[in-house]
Amino acid sequence: MDLTLPILILAIPITMFLILGLFGMKMSHKLAGILGILGMGTTMVLAYTVAFDYFFSGNSLFISGSERLQHTVFDVTWLQFSPRLVVNFGFLLDPICAMMLVVITTISFFVHLYSWGYMEGEKGFQRFYAFLSLFSFSMLGLVVATNIFQMYIFWELVGVSSYLLIGFYYKTPSAVSASKKAFIVTRFADLGMLIGILVLSFYMPTFNFIELTAPGQPQAVLASTGGATFLGGSVLTWALVLIFTGGMGKSAMLPLHIWLPDAMEGPTPVSALIHAATMVVAGVYLVARMFPLYLMEYQALDFITFIGAITALYAAVVACTQVDIKRVLAFSTISQIAFMMVSLGVARPEIHEGLGYMASMFHLFTHAMFKALLFLGAGALIHAVHSNDYTAMGGLRKYMPITHWTFLIGCLAIAGIYPFSGFFSKDEMLSAMYGYSTFWGVWMTFVAGLTAFYMFRLYYLIFWWDENPHYKHHRPHDAPWQMSLPLIILAAVSCVAGFIPFGELITWNGEPYHIHIEWVKVAIPSLCTAVVAILLATVMYRKKNSLPDKAAAIWPGLWRAAHHRFYWDEIYMFITHKIIFNVICSSIAWFDRHIIDGTMDAFAKVTQKTSYTIRGMQSGSIQTYVWWYLMGAVALAAITCWAIL
Amino acid sequence: MESIGNIILYFVVAVIIAVFSAMAVTTRKILRAATYLLFVLLGTAVVYFQLGYEFLGAVQIAVYAGGILVLFVFSILLTQHPADPASVLANHRKFVGGLAAVCAVALLGVAVCKFPLIDGMSLTEAVSIGDLNMKQIGHFLLSSEKFGYLLPFEAISVLLLACIIGGIAIARNK
Amino acid sequence: MNLTMLMYLIPSLIMFACGVYGFITRKNLIAILISLELMLNSVDLNFVIFNRFLFPGQLEGMFFTLFAIGIAAAETALAIAIVINIYRSIKKIDVSEITKMKF
Amino acid sequence: MILQNILIWFVIIPLIMLAGLALCKKMTQIRTVMVVCSVALLAIAGWLCVDFLAQRAAGNTAEMLYTGNWMWYAPLNIKLSVGVDGISVLMLMLSAVIVFAGTIASWKISPLPRNFFLWFALLSMGVFGFFITIDIFTMFMFYEVALIPMYLLIGVWGTGRKEYSAMKLTLMLMGGSAFLMLGLLGIYWHSGPSADGAAHTWNILEIAHNGAIEKGWQYFLFPMTFVGFGVLGAMFPFHTWSPDGHACAPTAVSMLHAGVLMKLGGYGCFRIAIYLLPQAANDLAWIFIILTGISIVYGAFSACVQTDLKYINAYSSVSHCGMVLFAILMLNTTAMTGAIMQMLSHGLMTALFFALIGMIYGRTHTRDIRKMGGLMQIMPYLGVCYMIAGFASLGLPGLSGFVAEMTIFFGSFQNADLFHRIFVIAATCSIVITAVYILRVVGKLLLGPVFDDHHRQLTDATWWERLSTITLIVCIAAIGCFPNWINETIQHSFLPIIENLKAAI
């Protein structure tokens, strides 16, 4: 395959970042915007070309018989730790990578376009585009990584671009602390990933994905450790769980999810790009990338399933009670990613030929589209009413028809209503879960129902409910074309994406899988659940009434806890501020100043005290000296005399 | 056997030296201390005469009693109201000083008494052996041969010069 | 009765002891100098005495004393210059007060 | 002819600098001398680097290149022996870069600019001399030459409690030197015969080739030398000079001290303590692994609650330099390579930090982060540089810190026993803590609303400040993006040391 396109896909965004970052301040907003959009547009076209080439050219590099192959386009040495461990920088093309290229460049392009309208007149417009380019570069680098270390490198870069973009409004303290929180929480997770990579690389003398996942390789690792276990898990299990920890951080799985809702402090296009469609699915991508290894250790997969299922339910419950529309979407994102995680966790070759994997990737794709749509829609709303809370909205359907209809499509897609894209992917995921165990199937169906409920709660509260009196002073209207166009296109994609024959393109082992919808066992029940949930939401929120308050009063404790996100932030606050900062750090600093430094100073003080004491003898009084001298001389002479006589 | 005059002279001088030394260091009026010192120095000069060193006695009177003591008196007059008594000494100070003095006396006394050569000859014998006159002294002082003291003489001259200059430099009013 | 060396040494010894006592006890700088002169004088005397009684034919002791007197004169002159200078700057010549350059 | 050896010029140019400064009167003359000489140093270091790599590429596999020997005290066989391997070359390059940046950063030093630069030049002479010599006596001499000017530089041109800090720094480092002297003398008396027939030798290569010093002595000498150098490398519990010393030192001195002088410690540790005393290094490493492991975590935790910018960086240096010593003690090529890269990285990055702190302090007249805020709006250039330095410090890929730390972690993890594992994992935890304190500072200092309205009148960087920071940033990014040539150079240089270690075990 020609090297030019893959290299350009990475080179254009980073070049854009450098140009806009270094010279942006000297450019006009318009020029910077056009440069950014053009750059991303070109990248998108290139990525489409590459993906199209990969899937449909029939090139023998990419497909042999019916099996899709992994192809390393280029791979150059970047750093050589030791003769065994070499970090390369390369471009690995395989089905999930090609799909991610499409997703990232598409969303990124639309976000670039959308931002031109959304960020208009903002100070730091050029900086915003620079950071967007940096993010796109890092994310593309992450998905094309040929080895886990390259992935880790871009993983970190993605984290930093996320930090920079969340903290884009750096003058507001809340944005600053949100960005800090996001970075530190994900860094903590990355620590787990790093340790996992350390463990893995010690037993497997390579970072390369193809070699890592080659048949027989994991068994070799297990053999090399001599069956050693630690707390009941083999070395490989631990390595995989630790690596998954990194994914938990980026994908906001349960104990490490707290940064994502706060990350909504960033500009809305950023939320759409990073915190909904692309970066947060990196964890899913990571597990998918190393899936053959995970298959070796079902314990690790069970762990993923468990974390994912808990997170999905938790986030869905919390989303039902939030006021800030972006936070509702954030929790919805958490919940949906958890869906993908569960789906990956239950994927087994023996259950529907590893359907879970395909379903997870499918949902990743469709979710990226409709969640970006929802976020961009939310951005349009915020742009119109200048507030994030639904209390400032209500009855907007008449004022903003485009936003209304696209948002509705997004809601239908995420709720899983036929024939919108969400239905298809969710259906596949649920069938994989039912195939694995009925318990998780029912559980996740319930979560899917909750999803439909909270999304329509949001929809009704924004567009129906009661018309907000403020509109008389400030009449909201639809966004400019740069913002509406992406909405319309993404809505269109969300309508039709379900009909893509995804199973033919992406499966865990490259062999095609023919999607068939299990209407009776899975689809009808889940569809019914969704419809019931939507009807419930309609009853409660279509017109202003007191039902929601009554509903909240049924379980006031639960409602309050969910409203406070089950106090996770408070717990973290307690641990970080009260324990780590006030107890550990302060006491160490005190120890250093007073004990360690005190000891060193004490040496000096003792020396000084001794000198002062001795100094008294050197009184400076000649008379005293004479006296001592004389007495000494007398004593000496006396001794001498006594000896002689 | 000594002449009786010599003996009487000795005792008178010895008593003068002992008493005035003691008074010089115990009196509280500094000008009196200087005066008592004068008597001690004169007594010493008499001893020199008695021992047959007339030149030395003359130098003692001229330099010490005449020169140094005048310096003392002037400096006392410059720095002190002559009638002012010094403050009374603290008892422990007296004790410490006395102890030192007594120790010194005791030790030196023992050493002197036990010294085997101490009762060698009498004064008359001694004076009769070493007779010397001014001419000889002058000769020795400016001779560079054996028993010549030219070098110390010159050294002392330079030293005195240095002292004069130093004294002027220090005491000079800026 | 013979006048022996011991007899001459005793006043000298007393003089020396008085000098020591004075040197240690007195506070006035000039009084200290006077005590110093006493000690020096006693030593001079001893030189002469030893010369006369032990080595009557020689002159070392005599000359030594001669030079010592010269040096004593120089030393006193300098010391008194310093005392006067101290007096000028702090109006006191009490040793316990002169501590400015201590330590 | 001694002057034909290129290495000697690293000492001669500072001497010329000293002589030139002695003749200078006006500020412009002083600047001219300093800039010309530091550029000359930079050029010669660059040329050395290129020529060294060319010679290696041409197949010259000698352990040290450009060697030379000149006797200067025959009765004790003390020679001026020079020679460099890849590590020394990189260290010389680092020193040259930092001397250049430091010179530019103190463009407007006052008072007494001439005297300041005189001591500065003397300090740099010591540093360069240390890196070019392979004779442990001469090395020690240059080490002392580098330490002493510190006292005056901090005591006279410093800020805050400068006399106290200068005294503390000097005394503690001198205390370390006392241990070191003992260790070096011990090595000398057990060194075996020299090549020219004398009974003992100071030359590192000869000592190493003479074979191991007897084991009992090694156990005594290794702690002496390691602690001696470790004090300068801010090893726990001998690190307390670093916060006070750095906090009070003037900008250029902080830069040179944290940037280069602290590296003398790490360099000495492997060049002398580990190379010459391999058995003891192998057997006693665990003690120092515990201490340096504590340094890493402890320094990072302490940095989290400091409020003075310089204290934060000083504690961060404790953590990062702890990492250097920690990696050296892992006794394998990868980790030790990482240690050298960490030295380079930390040198550049901390120099940048201290330069920026100096610039910020020069404007706001405070270093208390509680009294500043929102500086990014007022001085965007300095703010961005500070963020870059911060990212380098917390190990962002693409900047030097990441490469170094990763090399260290991967190297250290090769030691498979539980003891090493625990400490390596503890050390990796520092990357999170580092992120915490760096982001805390960045958040409080640069971001958020402007804290003090008086700060709004402040200006952004001047041209010389830009030049100084850009030099450092370019180096940081260059190492971060293209680490492999440095990596290979270092790895090759470690071969003899590793062989010596293997032979000893």
Query: A99 by DSSP, 3-state: which?
Result: helix
Question: Could you say which of A631, A641, A645 has the minimum Cβ distance to residue B103?
Answer: A631
Q: Do B103 and A630 touch (CB under 8 A)?
A: yes
Residue length, chain A? 645
Q: What type of residue is A150?
A: Q
Token digits for D489? Answer: 């150079």
B21 and C78 in contact by Cβ < 8 A?
no
DSSP code of residue B89: P
Q: Omega of the bond prior to A173 within 30 degrees of 0, cis?
A: no
**Phi, psi at D73, each rounded to 5°:** -150, 95
Cβ <8 Å between A641 and B107: yes
The enclosing H or E element of D82 equals: strand D78-84
Read off the amino acid at residue D404.
A
Tell me the per-residue pLDDT of D442-479, one tens digit each, with 9 for 90 and over: 988 888 888 888 888 888 888 888 998 999 999 999 99
User: CA-nearest residue of chain A to C25?
Assistant: A623
CA distance C66 to D109: 66
Residues of chain A contacting residue C24, judged by C-beta atoms under 8 Å apart: 623, 626-627, 630
Read off the amino acid at residue D475. Answer: C
- Whether the CB of C79 is below 8 Å from some CB of chain B: the reply is no
The answer to whether D317 and D244 have CB atoms below 8 angstroms apart is no
**Residue D466 token pair:** 């830009």
Residue in C3, C5, C21 closest to B118 by CB: C5
Write down the pTM of the prediction: 0.84
A15's CB contacts (< 8 A; 6+ apart) are A39
Helix (H, G, I), strand (E, B) or coil at D139: helix
* Residues pairing with B133 in the sheet: none
* Residue type at A515 in one-letter notation: I
**Domains within chain C, CATH numbers bracketed:** 5-97 (1.10.287.3510)
Select from A379, A269, A402, A272 the least CA-distant residue to A325.
Answer: A379
Give the residue from A627, A629, A634 with the most B CB atoms within 10 Å of its CB, the best one to mutate.
A634
Quick: pLDDT tens for A232-291. 778 888 888 999 999 999 998 988 888 988 888 888 889 888 888 888 999 999 999 888
Q: Write out pLDDT tens, residues D291-341.
A: 999 999 999 999 988 888 899 999 999 999 999 999 999 888 899 999 999
Q: State the DSSP code for A394.
A: -
- Contact in structure between B93 and C25 (CB atoms under 8 Å): yes
User: Which sequence spans correspond to the domains of chain B?
Assistant: 1-88
Widest Cα–Cα separation across chain B = 62
Cα A549 → chain centroid: 34
ipTM above 0.85, yes or no: no
Task: Tell me how far apart the alpha carbons of residues D132 and D5 are, in angstroms, rounded to a whole number.
Answer: 11
Contact D368, D325 (CB under 8 A): no
Record: contact D302-A581, CB cut-off 8 A? no
Average pLDDT over residues A536-559: 83
The tens place of each residue's pLDDT in chain D, 505 residues long, gives: 677 888 888 999 999 989 998 888 888 888 888 899 999 999 999 999 999 999 888 888 888 888 888 888 888 888 888 999 889 999 999 999 999 998 888 888 777 888 888 898 999 999 999 999 988 899 999 999 988 888 988 888 888 888 888 988 898 999 999 999 999 999 988 887 877 777 788 888 888 888 778 888 889 999 999 999 999 888 888 888 888 888 888 888 888 888 888 899 999 988 888 888 888 888 888 999 999 999 999 999 999 888 888 999 999 999 999 999 999 998 888 999 999 999 999 999 999 999 999 889 888 888 888 888 888 888 889 999 999 999 999 889 989 999 999 999 999 998 888 889 899 999 999 999 999 999 999 988 888 888 888 888 888 888 888 998 999 999 999 999 999 888 888 888 888 888 888 887 7
Q: Are D461 and D107 in contact (CB under 8 A)?
A: no
d(CA A272, CA A164): 15
pLDDT of residue D183: 92
From residue A138, alpha-carbon distances to A189, A264, A267, A330, D336 in Å are: 18, 20, 19, 22, 30
What pLDDT does B117 receive?
63
List CB contacts (< 8 A) between A642 and chain B. Answer: none
Report in angstroms the alpha-carbon separations of A480 from A388, A476, A539, D485. Answer: 19, 12, 33, 52
CB neighbour class for B168 (10 Å; exposed up to 12, middle 13-18, buried from 19)? exposed
| Interfacial C residues in 34-73 facing B (CB < 8 Å) | 34-35, 37-38, 41, 44-45, 48-49, 52-54, 56-59, 62-63, 65-67, 69-73
Question: Which A positions 129-158 lie with beta carbon below 8 A of chain D?
Answer: 149, 153-154, 156-157
Task: Test D443 with A180 for CB contact under 8 angstroms.
Answer: yes
Its sign, for the CA torsion A331, A333, A335, A338, is negative
Residues 6+ apart with CB under 8 A from D206: D191, D192, D194, D195
* Model pLDDT, residue A597: 87
Rounded CA-CA distance D140/D157 in Å is 26
Q: What is the pLDDT of residue B1?
A: 62
C23 touches chain A (CB under 8 A): yes
- Please tell me the distance from the alpha carbon of residue D398 to that of residue A116, in angstroms, as a whole number: 29
In chain A, whose CA is at the least distance from the CA of B110? Answer: A641
Interval D492-501: pLDDT, tens: 888 888 888 8
Identify all chain D residues contacting A163, using CB atoms and an 8 Å cutoff: 439
Domain extents in chain D: 2-504
- B2–chain C nearest CA distance, Å: 6
A85 touches chain D (CB under 8 A): yes
Chain A residues within an 8 Å CB radius of D396: 156-157, 160
Q: pLDDT under 50 in chain C at which residues? A: none
Using a CB-CB cut-off of 8 Å, the residues of chain D touching A176 are 443, 447-448
Say how many Å lie between the first and final Cα of chain B, rounded: 62
Is the domain B1-88 a CATH 1.20.1250.20 member? no
- Report which of D64, A624, B133 is spatially closest to residue C59, judged by C-alpha positions: B133
Residue A122 token pair: 């903002």
**Ordered DSSP codes for D374-434:** -HHHH-HHHHHHHHHHHHHHTT-TTSHHHHHHHHHHHHHTTS-SHHHHHHHHHHHHHHHHH
Alpha-carbon distance of A307 to A255, in angstroms, equals 9
Answer whether C95 sits within 8 Å of A621, measured CB to CB. yes
A171 in contact with chain D, both atoms CB, cutoff 8 A: yes
- Is residue D470 within 8 A of residue D444, CB to CB? The reply is no
Q: How does the average pLDDT of chain D come out, rounded?
A: 88
| pLDDT for A134 | 93
H helices of D58-161, where?
A: 86-105, 113-132, 136-157
CB of A625 within 8 Å of a chain C CB? The answer is: no
Inter-chain Cβ pairs, chain B and chain C, closer than 8 A: 242
